[in-house]
Amino acid sequence: MSQTRDWNEHNRAVIEQFRANGGKVGDGKIPHVLLTTTGAKSGLTRVNPLNYSTDGDRIIVIASKGAAPTHPDWYFNLVAHPEVTVEVGAEKFQARARIAEGAERERLFNQQAALMPYFAEYQKRTTRQIPVVVLERI
């Protein structure tokens, strides 16, 4: 339970820093997005800070959960409720989430892992295929 509380506190601090600094977190080298989902079970809104890359005008996020054996809660939320809110920099907009499959998933995963090598490391450390989520502006 303490690990969950630590992550919640960490995420709260990142969200606060993101919003106070126009989307910049830390030294700004790793791009962050805030993803607001609707809880699959609770129906409550949840905000998660995530690293992202882009593919054209689409936002790409990876449901790694740090190589944990299960997908992150936000992943299940957007599968149940694919309409989400995205914050990038100072911009906020509605988007539709979908899970990339096959060759598209491989390309997008490899593209982001080239920029952020820890994602490739996470995939090596877990037996599940880490989902790649495509966020398209509505």
Query: What average pLDDT is seen over the chain?
Result: 95
Q: Summarize the confidence of residues 9-23 as an average pLDDT.
A: 95
Within 13 A of 83's CA, how many CA atoms are on the CB side?
3
Residue 49 near residue 61 (C-beta atoms within 8 A): no
Per-residue confidence band for 1, with pLDDT thresholds at 50, 70 and 90? very low
Tell the residue number behind the tokens 């919640």, with chain if given. Answer: 8
CATH of the domain at 38: 2.30.110.10
Distance CA(52)–CA(31), nearest Å, equals: 6
What pLDDT shows up at residue 2?
Answer: 42
pLDDT digits over 105-121, tens only? Answer: 999 999 999 999 999 99
pLDDT(3) > 80: no
pTM of the shown model: 0.94
Range of the domain at 40: 2-137
pLDDT digits over 30-45, tens only? Answer: 999 999 999 999 999 9
Q: Summarize the confidence of residues 5-33 as an average pLDDT.
A: 92
- Give me 128's structure tokens: 């599940």
What pLDDT shows up at residue 4?
Answer: 52
Residue 120 near residue 113 (C-beta atoms within 8 A): yes
What total number of domains does the chain contain? 1
